[in-house]
Amino acid sequence: MTITWGTCISWCAWLAVGVTAACAPAMPPEGALPRTRFDWSVDRFEREKYHDAIRGFRDHLIREPLHPTADSSRLLLAESYLMTDQELLAANEFRQLATSRPNSPLADDAQFGVCRAFWAVSPNLPRDQEFTEKTMEECTRLLEFFPRSPLVGAARDLVAQARQKMAAKELRVGKYYFDRTFYESAIIYFENILQTYPEADVVPATLLVLHYSYSRVGFQAEADLVRQRLLELYPDSPQAEELVEQDGDEG
């Protein structure tokens, strides 16, 4: 078979078209009805093709912002962002639905989505806890504005987890000052934990270092009260055992 220059050009053109088609982003069919565009996007979402779903839902919302499927489109668009690690974009879409459509049947799902998005980017303890605080704020908003939502229990659980994390962060900062003998500063953080997060798991550890802090600045009466509180409320904790062992060693 003889390959002419014209044949080569034809093959290259065909190959270029094929490559372009393969690389083109998936989109709903041009000229499709609104419901067809929505169904196409839902299909991509359910098949975990989230980037395609994002393009589809965004296109649908731009073309048909008042369509009956608009609320569902925005919710699933936000979920798609969440599944592709674009948490702040997800939070923005969730919030837009929750605030602009408060009477929508999906408004409470959207509000809880804001909580989930911020919790997803809540960092580890050494870093700033802005998004942990936002998680608590947004979940509390759900509890206030949607008190009969079936998501109330899940929102309370997230608030509880966030509060535990904030208490642990406060303890970490307090210990930083304690280890550097800035006991007055440490006391401020430890007392704040006891007042703000009395249910936190770190309370026994906080009471122990608060006892030591008061002792080292010469506030023995306060130190004794904290010691008594630790022994009475958390008698089986490792921190209480540490104080009991110290009493035995001193005796």
Contact in structure between 189 and 171 (CB atoms under 8 Å): yes
The span from the CA of 93 to the CA of 212, in Å, is 48
The span from the CA of 232 to the CA of 223, in Å, is 14
Give the model's confidence band at 12: pLDDT under 50 very low, under 70 low, under 90 confident, else very high: very low
The span from the CA of 251 to the CA of 245, in Å, is 10
pLDDT in tens, 88-146: 999 999 999 999 999 999 999 999 999 999 999 999 988 899 999 999 999 999 999 99
Contact in structure between 165 and 141 (CB atoms under 8 Å): no
Average pLDDT, the chain: 90
Q: What are phi and psi of 75, to 5 degrees?
A: -65, -45
CB atoms under 10 Å from CB of 179, counted, come to: 10
Percent of the chain with pLDDT over 90: 82
pLDDT at position 166 over 80: yes
Give 97's contacts (C-beta < 8 A, 6+ positions apart): 71, 74, 75, 78, 104, 106, 107, 110
pTM of structure: 0.84
